[in-house]
């Protein structure tokens, strides 16, 4: 190997290093692609949650179209300070001719403030 060959190899290696740097960190590089993929995954998750919420709204608006969807069919008794009745009538599915009666127990669930 002569000096020209060594210089050529060094020059080619420098070109490869620059190209590798461009591919990994430059515009359109691997790191940018990873971030883009992460952003897309986050957007997909957000849209999935939104679809789940909309599906629940549709089930509540049209229970006849969605079997096995329970709904509150009536209320009984006095209401407390949160406007909750003493009893709820819950129908297990659209089209049934009966309801279950659920009574207020005084117990609540949720975060403790």
Do 52 and 32 fall within a single domain? Answer: yes
Do 99 and 78 fall within a single domain? Answer: yes
User: Which range marks the domain in which residue 36 is found?
Assistant: 1-61
Whether residue 112 lies inside any domain: the answer is no
Q: Whats the size of the chain, residue-wise?
A: 113
Residues 6 or more apart in contact with residue 92 via CB below 8 angstroms: 68, 70, 100
Do 102 and 71 fall within a single domain? Answer: yes
CB 75 within 8 A of CB 87: yes
Condensed to tens digits (0 to 9), the pLDDT of residues 53-72 reads 988 888 777 777 777 778 88
Domains held by the chain: number: 2
CB 86 within 8 A of CB 101: no
Condensed to tens digits (0 to 9), the pLDDT of residues 66-112 reads 777 788 889 999 998 889 999 999 988 877 889 999 999 888 888 87
Do 45 and 77 fall within a single domain? Answer: no
Whether residue 113 lies inside any domain: the answer is no
CB 58 within 8 A of CB 71: no
**pTM of whole model > 0.85?**
no
């Amino acid at each position: 190997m002569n000096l020209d060959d060594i210089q050529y190899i060094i020059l080619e290696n420098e070109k490869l290093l620059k190209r590798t740097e461009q591919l990994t960190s430059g515009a359109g590089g691997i790191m940018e692609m990873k971030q883009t993929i992460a952003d897309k995954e986050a957007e997909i998750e957000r849209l999935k949650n939104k679809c789940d919420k909309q599906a629940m709204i549709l089930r509540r608006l049209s229970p006849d179209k969605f079997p096995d969807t329970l709904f509150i069919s009536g209320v009984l008794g006095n209401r407390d300070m949160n406007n909750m009745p003493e009893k709820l009538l819950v129908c297990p599915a659209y089209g049934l001719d009966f309801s279950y009666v659920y009574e207020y127990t005084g117990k609540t669930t949720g975060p403790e403030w």
